[in-house]
Each structure stands twice: as C-alpha cells, then as structure tokens.
Amino acid sequence: MNTDQSLRNRVFNEMLVWIEGNLDKPLSLDLLANRSGYTKWYLHRILKEYTGLSLGEYCKLRRLSRSAVLLMLTQTRIVDIANELCFTSTQAFSRAFKSQFSKTPNAFRLSDTWDIRGFCGPYHNMRELMPTPQILDLKSINVVGIGYELSCKVEEETKFDFSIRESLLERKTAKSTNNIIIGLVDYVSSGDKINYRIKYTAASLISENSANTKSESIINVSGGKYAKFEYVGSSEGMKDFIYKIYTAYLPAQHIIRRKGIDVEMYQRQSKKIKKSGMISLWYFIPIL
C-alpha cells in the first residue's frame, strides 16, 4: 500500500469514528474540516471514494440505522429518537424511516422480524471479504444450561466481551461430558429507554450424561431456517465478526432475521489451542 493510500485510509477511518460519536449533533463539512485540519474538498472526495455518498447522505443513513436498533431493542419514544438524531420533526423522521425500511417506525418496532435490509453500517462500503454462510433447515432441540444477563446501551456492547462467554462455557464444560458446548445469545427488548438486555446461556444437549442441576435451565431452541457462519480467530475479534454479519452481510444479502436466539456451537478445545487465544465455532442466526 502506497503512502497516499495509507493516508486516505487513516483519514477515512478517523472521520467515520468521529461521525459515529457525533450523530446526535448537526454535522457539516465545515465542522469536519475545522476539526481535522483537512480541506472540505479533500474530506468530501475521500468519503465519496469509499462510500459513494456525500456527508449528508451518509449521516442520514447512519442516523436511520441507529434509530432502527433503538426501535428494535429499547422503548425509547419515537419523538425522542427523532430529536436525538437531529431530525427536524417526528413527521420528517417517520417519512425518512419508511422510505429506508419500508415500514413506519411504530410498525418496525412491533414486527416479530428484524428486517434490516435498509441498514447502513458505519463501515458498510469497506469491501472486506465476508464469509459465505450455509443456509440450513434445523430441527428444534432442547438444551440445559447456565445463564447470565446483562444490560447494555445500544451499540455499546463493551460489557459483552468474550470473557463473559468463556467463564460460563468453562463452567458448563466442567459439568458436561458432551463434545459440543452451545452458547445461546438472546437480544431482549426492555422497557428501558436507553438500555437493552443480553441473555447469554452456556448449554449442552440434554442426554443421560448431562448434569442437570437445580442451577441450570432447560431451554428450547426453535427449529427452522438458519444462516450458519464459521469463525476461527482471536476471542477479541469475535465481537467485530458478529457485528459485521449484522451490519454488513445480512443487509447486503437482503436476509431478514426472524424471531429466535442466535446459537454458537463450540467443540471441546485442546489446551494448546486455548493457550494461543484462538477460538473456533459455528455461529447460527435464525432467518426467514
């Protein structure tokens, strides 16, 4: 990569990070230029080169996409979402939202599916190679597991790092003789105006050898169509991998997530693999 390309990449990444942190404020090329020290012309050219969009178009799509997440996972009032994300009125927000997602904000919130085909992720046109999933029809299964629940702000899942998974998975592995350990991820809308809940369960298939104690719960994982992704990499990179599936791959492939639980499937790993910090799993997302 030449020096000029490296500079453009750095400027682009810095610009998008700053935009993400300021979507609740009026933004302009003048403001961005004053903040960065680069000319308006240079910043406009880089954003257009990477995304094909002007600053105004890009910010509008990101605000609408953030509003979609707020509608799915919180009970923030629609008027407050419109105000928070700098729309001139609730009516203007509703028109723009319906144009992007083909549903009114209220209909989107009440839907049993996550139709994010109109979603624009923060790095949506950085064409990194995305894994191609298998589309499978799976039968319903019952599992027994140890659960944990935490509260997160939208798009700030810093609390939900791999250490939470690892602690529960190790406890479950110690109790189970099965070679396959299952992680269940359930994103739960709550009555909170800011936060939503993540329920994580480390589980195994119910069998005669399963240690079903009073501290564990029996959970039914519904059958149906799933997109199966494979991940091999660092534990730190797993969160980014899942984020890219939801913000880039599913929208690009026009896939609708149906009601259900995301399923992680791990095989027992050797001590050598665990020491290296690498993990290997299959990740299943329920889809229509």
Q: Tell me the pLDDT tens digit for each residue of 72-116.
A: 888 889 999 999 999 999 999 999 999 999 999 999 999 989 998
Whether the pLDDT of residue 2 is over 90: the answer is: no
- Pull the structure tokens for residue 284: 């299943």
Q: Which of 185-194, 230-239, 251-260 has the lowest mean pLDDT?
A: 185-194
Whether the pLDDT of residue 64 is over 80: the answer is: yes
pLDDT, residue 272, reads 45
pLDDT, residue 274, reads 54
pLDDT tens for residues 163-207? 778 878 887 777 666 778 889 998 876 666 667 788 888 888 876
**Per-domain boundaries in the chain:** 3-110, 134-286
Across the range 203-219, mean pLDDT stands at 68
> What average pLDDT is seen over the chain?
82
Report strand pairing: 217-221 vs 224-234.
Answer: unpaired
pLDDT, residue 244, reads 83
Say whether 134-286 and 3-110 share the same fold. no
pLDDT, residue 218, reads 84
pTM for the predicted model, two decimal places? 0.82
Return the CATH number of 134-286, one of 3.30.360.10, 3.20.80.10, 3.30.460.10, 3.10.290.10.
3.20.80.10
Across the range 5-19, mean pLDDT stands at 81
The owner of tokens 């269940």 is 184
Which residues lie below 8 Å from residue 63, measured CB to CB, with a gap of 6+? 23, 85, 86, 87
pLDDT, residue 159, reads 53
pLDDT, residue 68, reads 93
Q: How far apart are CA 150 and CA 200, in angstroms?
A: 8
- CATH code for the domain defined by 3-110: 1.10.10.60
Strands (E), 174-270: 180-188, 195-205, 217-221, 224-234, 262-267
pLDDT, residue 59, reads 92
Whether the pLDDT of residue 273 is over 50: the answer is: no
Which DSSP letter does residue 114 get?
Answer: B
pLDDT, residue 125, reads 46
**Cβ-based burial of 2 (10 A; exposed 0-12, middle 13-18, buried ≥19):** exposed
Using pLDDT thresholds of 50, 70 and 90, give the confidence band for residue 264: very high
pLDDT, residue 270, reads 44
Output 194 or 121, whichever has higher pLDDT: 121
